[in-house]
Amino acid sequence: MMIRALLFVLVCVSGNVTAGVIDFDFESAMSVVTENTWTAGTDDLDTWYAPHSTNSSSEAAFSIENGVINLDHDNRNHYRSMLYAIALPDAGTYELLLETLYSNYSNQLNYWQVFAANDGATFNLRSLTWSTVPTSATRLTRDYAPDDGSENGVDFIGYSNEFSISEADFASYDYLVLALTGSRNSSQMLQFDNLSISEVPEPGSLALCVVAALAMTGLRRRQNSKI
């Protein structure tokens, strides 16, 4: 019976509380649409967008290969952004998880942002700066890879960022937009992997699951005692 109770807790947590929003499997083939801008309500959802490579007008600046997102080198070391958008999920608290590697903090950019957006919000994937918030959009969170000695171009470092979608946000916006931004030259690396956005369970919801499981255990014990 204890096993059944524990299974109940796991089902409660995984089924109704921590619904996944974005969970990328980069081992699978994923195409990238090559456009210098993405406009909410006009361009596709559930699709990666990236600007044209400055080295080749027919290729995207980002690619998904060997299980990771890779930023192609730019001889002028310009920063570029890769974008993915979905329908805005329900109000709640969410967690962005990702891993990234890069080579040099002093002359590379490596940051990521999450926005809520409405129809008409246009994101320029060649000029989405740290401070840019497009019209008809609001920023929910942002972060960057710090100068902590991990930038060796070899090792992936994991990062976690929590953000909230308020009831007002849910009433005002239609889309959730993730943007990854970086720069690199031919001697550097910049990659992303193991990227996901999931809803964070509310403490009260978890407590209810545990209480319900314990109640089931107690009920079963009482039933057994009467036999």
Q: What type of residue is 13?
A: V
Alpha helices (H) along the chain: 2-12, 167-172, 203-225
pTM assigned to the model: 0.81
Question: Residue 82 class from Cβ within 10 Å (0-12 exposed, 13-18 middle, 19+ buried)?
Answer: buried
Q: Are strands 32-34 and 48-50 parallel, antiparallel or unpaired?
A: parallel
pLDDT in the model for residue 28: 62
Q: What pLDDT, on a 0 to 100 scale, did the predictor assign at position 24?
A: 78
Which pLDDT score, from 0 to 100, does residue 13 have?
Answer: 34
Q: What confidence tens digit (pLDDT) does each residue in 122-139 have? A: 999 999 999 999 999 999
Can you list the residues of the chain whose pLDDT is less than 50?
1-18, 208, 219
**The pLDDT of residue 219:** 46
> What is the number of other CB atoms lying within 10 angstroms of the CB of residue 106?
6
Using an 8 Å Cβ cutoff, are 206 and 13 in contact?
yes
